[in-house]
Amino acid sequence: MTRAIVVMATEGTYPFVGGGVSTWCHQLCEGLDSVDFTILAVTGDSLVK
């Protein structure tokens, strides 16, 4: 079976901030076994790596 490849772009949320949208993103990424997710996280915090 072919796996889907998805880039999920987030801004100021997942995976660096919990709750709300982050919870939904996490459930989506962990719950869809047939999808390979890559997270593109945009953040304004210079300390996040």
Query: Domain count of the chain?
Result: 1
Rounded to the nearest 10 degrees, how much is the dihedral formed by the CA atoms of 37, 39, 23, 44?
-170
Contacting residues for 26 by C-beta, under 8 A, at least 6 apart = 14, 15
pLDDT at residue 33, as a whole number: 92
Residue 27 lies in a domain: yes
For the chain, the residue count is 49
Residue 24 within a domain: yes
Q: How confident is the model at residue 22 (pLDDT cuts 50, 70, 90)?
A: very high
Structure tokens at 13: 């949320």
Tell me: the pLDDT tens digits for 24-48?
Answer: 999 999 999 999 999 999 888 777 6
Do 48 and 13 touch, CB atoms closer than 8 A? no
Residue 47 within any structural domain of the chain: no
Structural domain for 8, as ranges = 4-42
Look at residue 45 in the predicted model and tell me its pLDDT. Answer: 72
Per-residue pLDDT, averaged over 5-10, amounts to: 95
Give pTM, 2 decimals.
Answer: 0.74
